[in-house]
Amino acid sequence: MKGRISPCLSFLLFSVFCLTAITSCNNTNKTTESDSGPVVQDISSDKTADSDKTATLSDKGTDHAVLGEKFIDLLVGAKYKEAFSWFDEKMAAALPVDKLQLVWKSIGERFGPFQKTIKTQTTKRDGYSIALIFCQFKTKVVIAKVVFSGAKVAGLFFFPNKGDNAQLYDAPPYVDLKTFSDKEIAVGKGKWQLPGTISMPKGKGPFPAVVLVHGSGPHDRDESIGPNKPFRDLAWGLATRGIAVLRYEKRTKEHANAMHGIRESVTTKGETIQDAGLAVELLRSTEKIDPKKVFVLGHSLGGMLVPRIANIAPNAAGFIIMAGSTRPLEDLIMEQTEYLLGLDGSLSDMDKKTLEEVREKVKRVKDPKLSAKTPSEKLPFSVPAAYWLDLRGYDPAESAKSMKRPMLILQGGRDYQVTMKDFQGWKDKLNKKTGVTFTLYPSLNHLFMEGQGKSKPSEYQIPGHVYKKVIEDISSWVKTINTH
């Protein structure tokens, strides 16, 4: 198995992937303590599990245990079409063959080649039969949770085994835990309320503050991927330097089921933009915060959406864009797929077929005939047409021309997800605009962590921290903005 696809496709591309790639059995997502919503692949966060602590598990031997193992055997044998034929109607629509292939390959990229099945356990819940297959990869045991409705697969989850020495987070050296405290807080009210954390410097204040806006995927407040937590690094690093920071669970993670219920109409407004605006106003009304010095920092998708966030957050003092794309998302999907499949310098027949399928779906996104009625399974990663239509014609850099607040635009030179083409896109449109600062870090990847050589998805699994100079540059910039 080549195993070269990124560890979390939704992280690399954009979050509606995880709205579409869900199970058709909405009530089965509580079977294990690790499940963070009904997403098809839940190995991007630091949550892990060993087994279901609320349901009784039986040993291998039931029909669904055997079926579960056979299904995994199909994936191991790269028989993706045959595995796809096991899906029920809703799973087939949510997880087309090309995406199933990418998900499985991503696990191999993260944890090395599949080696063997250790054991299988089964349980029943809400009329569904669930098989937990403990799969030994080279560096970690990954549990495959296969949810059956009869003999059809109605749900699919992957997550690391809890007993597998999960990596603990260590604060980076540039953080002084004695200089600030974390406080739990809620962003918004009612149905879409989100739990969050404010890292507040010690002292009387008032302090400048920053809202962190996530990249693609159903992220937690730390924007966790593998052992790394870039948003916690940013929050603690800036709080150490006297800047308060608010980070919160993303709506697509905290309210995964509810978001799935409206997925055909979801756009970036409900997914990201509204919550960012609410977070700004929350900070402005928080004790010890200077209401005239609240900034927004968007990473990846969050950075791309900064001009739209600015429209609903006119009271923000300034905006920081970290690895924000300036090109259409469908173009990034195509570019990333080509990059990842070509990392070893060769393309298999399956790789070539995957590229052609993605290329055709990208063409449909660009087709003027695209409408809300276009079936999602005919579009990249089964993302509904409403999302694409909302982004059609959106030019982040062009839109940023009309922004009235200062901007700091940061880019990692080794980033293959949002590349130097995007950084140049910002510069081409904004280089004559006053109040805009551009900073390039040649050795940093998409997470703004240091590395060498050609960037690969596997480096996201190496414990690291946001580069200290990034923290220092953001801190210095925030403190130099005069809003009084």
* Candidates 300, 376, 382, 455; catalytic one: 300
Q: What would the two tokens of residue 248 be?
A: 């919160």
Tell me how far apart the alpha carbons of residues 97 and 111 are, in angstroms, rounded to a whole number.
22
Angle of helix 349-366 relative to helix 97-111, nearest 10 degrees, comes to: 120
- Kind of pairing between the strands at 407-412 and 318-322: parallel
* Candidates 260, 415, 422, 465; catalytic one: 415
Is 300 noted as a catalytic residue in this protein? yes
- Kind of pairing between the strands at 244-248 and 207-213: parallel
Q: What would the two tokens of residue 395 be?
A: 């030019």
**N-terminal to C-terminal alpha carbon distance within the chain:** 59
- Residue-by-residue DSSP string for 31-74: SSTT--SS-S---SSS--BSS-SSS--B-TTSHHHHHHHHHHHH
Tell me how far apart the alpha carbons of residues 459 and 455 are, in angstroms, rounded to a whole number.
7
Query: Can you say how many angstroms the Cα of residue 318 is from the centroid of all Cα atoms in its chain?
Result: 24
Q: What strand order describes the sheet that includes 407-412?
A: 180-187, 194-201, 244-248, 207-213, 289-299, 318-322, 407-412, 436-441
Which residue, 102, 57, 40, 52, is CA-closest to 75? 102
Q: What would the two tokens of residue 268 be?
A: 């970036």
Residues in the chain: 484
Is 224 noted as a catalytic residue in this protein? no
| DSSP H or E segment with residue 245 | strand 244-248
- Kind of pairing between the strands at 244-248 and 194-201: antiparallel
Is 15 noted as a catalytic residue in this protein? no
* Candidates 64, 214, 446, 465; catalytic one: 446
By annotation, the residues acting in catalysis are 300, 415, 446
